[in-house]
Every structure is written in C-alpha cells, then in structure tokens.
C-alpha cells in the first residue's frame, strides 16, 4: 500500500512538473511595441500634413526641372538641414513663424516650378535648406512618449526621402512638352495651396 | 495522509514557481540556435549598430576597391577587438556615441569626400572598436565572446556584399542614390543627438 502511495505521489509530481514545463507564460518583456511603433510613427508623420507633403514633393519636382546636379543636390540638402531644424527644436531653440515659413516654402517652391526658374545651384540649395529648417522644427520633434527616438528619426527621414523621390519620378515627365506643361500646372497648384496654408496660418 | 500532504506541497511549490517572476534579458536576441547566431541576430536587429556598419560599407564602396578591401578586414577585426574590451567593461558612456558615427559616415557619403587610405583605415578601426565595445557590454550576460564572433562574421559578409555592390555601380545616378542614403544617415545622427539632449534618446 505504501509503495502504491509513493507511486501516486511520483505521478502527481511528474504531472505538475510537466504542467509547469509546458505552461509557458507569455514573455511580454520581449515585445518591443514602442520601438516598432516609433518607426511606423516616424514613417507616417511626414504624410500626416499636406503642407509638408506638398513641399517635399515640390523639392523633387523642382530638382527634376533643374536637372543635374540640382536633381540630387536638393534632396541631399533637404534632409540634413531638416534634421538641423529638428535638432533646434529638440534643444528648445525657438523658431518664430514656423507655420508661415512652411506655407511660404510651398508658395515659393510652387512658383519656381510654375515659372521653370533656373536658379544658380547654390542659391537653390540655400533656399531649399532655409525652408527645410522650418519643416524639421515643426515635424521632427513630435515623438510620442515611450517610443524610440532613433527609430522615429529613421522613419521620419526615410518618409521624407520617399516624398522627394516621388517628386523626382513625377518630375521626369519634364522631358515631354505636355509633361512640362503638366509640371508647371502642378507648380501652380502647390503655390495656390501654399497661399491657402499661409492664410490659415495667419488667420 | 502522507499522500495528500506531499501532493499539496508539490502543488504549492509548482504554482509558486509558475508565478515567480524571473529575470528577463529582454535586450538580447535569442535565436535558439546558439550564441553565434544570437550575436548575428543582435547585429541585424540593432539599428544603432547595423546602420553605421552599412554606412561604412557604402562609403568604402564609393571610395573603390582598395578601401573596400581594407574595410573588409580591418572593420570586423576592430569590432571584435572592441567587443572583447567591452566584455570586461561595466559602464557605458551616457552620450550616444553611435550618433557620431551616423553623422560622420553620413556626411562623408553624402559629400563623397575622398579620405587618404590610411585615414580611412583609422576611421574604420575607430568606428569598429567603438561599436564593438558597446556590443561587448550588451552581450556580456548572453552570447558573450561567441556572439562577438558571430557579429564579426556577419560584418565580414555584410561589408563584402555592400561594398562590392557599390564598387560595381557604374551609372552616375546609382552613386547619387548612395549619396542620398548617406544624407539620410547623417540626418538620423543629428536627430539622435537632439533626442539625447532632450532626454528621449
């Protein structure tokens, strides 16, 4: 009888031990939700504001109109200077008239495309860089709590670059006469939207 | 009586174990395939390390075959050396030093600057030692030295593939794409420094 009891104990012990081994608790610590969301948030952010989207695409369109080397100098200049603008925001350095600056960027870039203005490369890069500061200051600093700054930055910079790329690809229609006209029409639209953004920023 | 007591004791101990929280080494990637693969997984899933490694490979590729070969051998070895130094270290600097490698390498790529070969080698070694050092600290409680070997092997393959790919690029616009990618890396570095000063890095 005693032997039978010991056997039962052994079985019970093995059963609960097996249960323990099989019962794997969910290791929530491994799910880096905030990290992944940080990248997605950064990726989404530039698309969330039409003013930012239009200005980014305008940079690509204008670059395509100007041709080499502006085609790549402008999209290289913009993210770097934009990051400097974001850094200013992160350091708490105030920048007056951010919304007005963003609206004016759409107006001027749109006007450049509309008029097919062939500015000197340095002046064009300086102009694009100047407005990039406003865009970076406004959009680059809005990291939701608990998310990774690096991944947010990666998403934000990549999305901005993609918008430039879209502008450049659309701008390739410049090689056809009808495309040239369409591009100038797009410039007029961007400038008109810039006026609307300016009116909204001032009112 | 004996049977019930033992049974309940076992139950109590078992459920006690079930609800006993254990240390979770959440930051280490466990592939289940051993420490070498854990190290490789750590590299591939850590953007602070992966992006500068890719950036160095891109820059080496832009510079040509000779710098590419130098990066291929010196960079992973320096990373391994830094890793072993890191295994013996306890503290990490608070400033995000990887941000500096983002910034520096990004600017070099974007501007397509030509560094003398020796200066380039020093750069590759410095970046490798720094990132390896941080890896060493991170992997100390996990895959340790074997993990570092895995990282070194992965870096060798990564640099070989990426640098060779860039060296082979002939149309001018493809090099421009690489330079645009460099500007993105530099922008990320600037933002990382900004986040650090804001306390959200």
In a domain, B50, yes or no: yes
Quote the CA–CA distance of A12 and A196 in Å, as a whole number: 76
Which one of A26, A72, A137 makes the best mutation probe of the B interface by having the most chain B beta carbons within 10 Å? A72
Angle (nearest 5°) at CA B91 between B86 and B92: 80
Instruction: Grade residue B24 by pLDDT with cuts at 50, 70 and 90.
Output: very low
- Lowest average pLDDT, out of A59-68, A87-96, A150-159, B23-32, goes to B23-32
From A130, A156, A125, A138, select the one nearest A62 (Cα to Cα). A125
Residue A77 with chain B: CB contacts under 8 Å: 183
The pLDDT of B85-97, averaged and rounded, is 79
Torsion (CA) A76, B177, B43, B124 in degrees, nearest 10: -80
User: What was the pLDDT predicted at B102?
Assistant: 92
Look-up of token digits 């920023």: A201
Nearest-by-Cβ selection for B10 from A16, A30, A150: A16
DSSP 8-state class, residue B95:
S
From A168, A160, A169, select the one nearest A44 (Cα to Cα). A160
Quote the CA–CA distance of A46 and A111 in Å, as a whole number: 22
From B150, B138, B152, B146, select the one nearest B79 (Cα to Cα). B152
User: What was the pLDDT predicted at B33?
Assistant: 75
Q: State what percent of residues in chain B have pLDDT above 90.
A: 41
Q: What is the pTM of this model?
A: 0.76
Quote the CA–CA distance of A197 and A50 in Å, as a whole number: 9
B134 and B47 Cβ atoms separated by less than 8 Å: no
- Report the number of distinct structural domains present in chain A: 1
Look at residue A188 and tell me whether its pLDDT is greater than 90: yes
In a domain, A24, yes or no: no
A93 vs B: CB within 8 A: no
DSSP 8-state class, residue B168:
T
Nearest-by-Cβ selection for B14 from A16, A80, A91: A16
Whether the ω angle into residue A69 lies within 30 degrees of 0, i.e. cis, is yes
The pLDDT of B86-102, averaged and rounded, is 82
Q: State what percent of residues in chain B have pLDDT above 70.
A: 83
Which chain B residue's Cα is nearest to A70?
B176
In a domain, A64, yes or no: yes
pLDDT digits (tens, 9 = 90+) for A140-160: 667 666 677 788 888 888 988
In a domain, A141, yes or no: yes
In a domain, A22, yes or no: no
Quote the CA–CA distance of B8 and B152 in Å, as a whole number: 52
Question: CB count, 10 Å around CB of A13?
Answer: 17
pLDDT digits (tens, 9 = 90+) for B148-184: 999 999 999 999 999 999 999 888 888 888 998 999 9
pLDDT digits (tens, 9 = 90+) for A9-54: 777 777 776 766 666 555 444 444 455 677 888 888 888 888 889 9
Quote the CA–CA distance of B26 and B40 in Å, as a whole number: 16
Domain with A185 in it? 32-202
Look at residue B7 and tell me whether its pLDDT is greater than 50: yes
- Report the number of distinct structural domains present in chain B: 1
User: What was the pLDDT predicted at A52?
Assistant: 86
In a domain, A4, yes or no: no
Residue B106 with chain A: CB contacts under 8 Å: 80
Q: In angstroms, what CA-CA distances link A109 with A51, A77, A188, B92, B174?
A: 12, 15, 10, 46, 26
Domain with B81 in it? 29-198
Residues composing chain A = 203
Q: In angstroms, what CA-CA distances link A153 with A45, A105, A163, B132?
A: 10, 22, 15, 23
User: What was the pLDDT predicted at B91?
Assistant: 75
ipTM over 0.90: no
In a domain, A16, yes or no: no
A1 vs B: CB within 8 A: no
In a domain, A50, yes or no: yes
In a domain, B15, yes or no: no
Shortest Cα distance from B168 to chain A (angstroms)? 20
- The alpha carbons of chain A give a radius of gyration, in whole angstroms, of 27
From A143, A131, A147, A111, select the one nearest A52 (Cα to Cα). A131
A144 vs B: CB within 8 A: no
In a domain, A136, yes or no: yes
């Amino acid at each position: 009888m005693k032997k039978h009891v010991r056997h039962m104990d052994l079985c019970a012990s093995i059963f609960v031990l097996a249960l323990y081994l099989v019962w794997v608790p969910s290791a929530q610590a491994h799910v880096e939700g905030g990290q992944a969301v940080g990248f997605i948030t950064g990726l989404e952010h530039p698309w969330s504001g039409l003013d930012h989207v239009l200005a980014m695409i305008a940079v690509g369109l204008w670059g395509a109109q100007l041709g080499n080397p502006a085609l790549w100098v402008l999209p290289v200049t913009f993210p770097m200077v934009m990051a400097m603008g974001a850094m200013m925001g992160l350091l708490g350095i105030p920048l007056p008239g951010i919304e007005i600056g963003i609206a004016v960027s759409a107006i001027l870039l749109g006007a450049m495309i509309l008029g097919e203005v062939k500015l000197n490369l340095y002046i064009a890069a300086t102009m694009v860089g100047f407005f990039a500061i406003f865009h970076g200051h406004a959009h680059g600093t809005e990291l939701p709590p608990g998310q990774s700054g690096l991944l947010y930055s990666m998403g934000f910079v990549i999305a901005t670059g993609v918008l430039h790329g879209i502008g450049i690809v659309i701008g390739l229609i410049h090689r056809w006469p009808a495309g040239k006209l369409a591009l100038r029409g797009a410039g007029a639209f961007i400038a008109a939207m810039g006026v609307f953004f300016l009116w909204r920023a001032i009112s | 009586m004996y049977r019930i007591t033992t049974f309940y004791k076992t139950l109590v101990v078992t459920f006690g174990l079930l609800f006993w929280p254990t240390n979770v080494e959440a930051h280490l990637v466990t592939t289940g395939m051993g420490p070498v693969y854990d190290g490789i997984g750590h590299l591939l899933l850590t953007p602070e390390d992966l992006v500068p490694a890719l950036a160095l490979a891109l820059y080496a590729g832009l510079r040509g075959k000779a710098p590419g070969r130098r990066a291929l051998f010196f960079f992973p070895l320096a990373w391994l050396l830094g890793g072993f130094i890191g295994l013996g270290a306890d503290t990490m600097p608070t400033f995000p030093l990887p941000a500096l490698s983002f910034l520096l390498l990004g600017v070099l790529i974007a501007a397509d600057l030509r560094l003398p070969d020796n200066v380039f080698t020093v750069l590759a070694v410095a970046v490798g030692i720094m990132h390896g050092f941080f890896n060493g600290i991170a992997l100390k409680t996990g895959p340790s030295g074997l993990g570092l070997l895995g990282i070194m092997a992965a870096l060798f393959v990564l640099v070989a593939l990426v640098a060779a790919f860039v060296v082979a690029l002939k149309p001018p616009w493809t090099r421009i794409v690489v330079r645009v990618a460099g500007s993105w890396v530099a922008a990320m570095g600037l933002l990382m420094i900004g986040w650090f000063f804001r306390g959200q890095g």
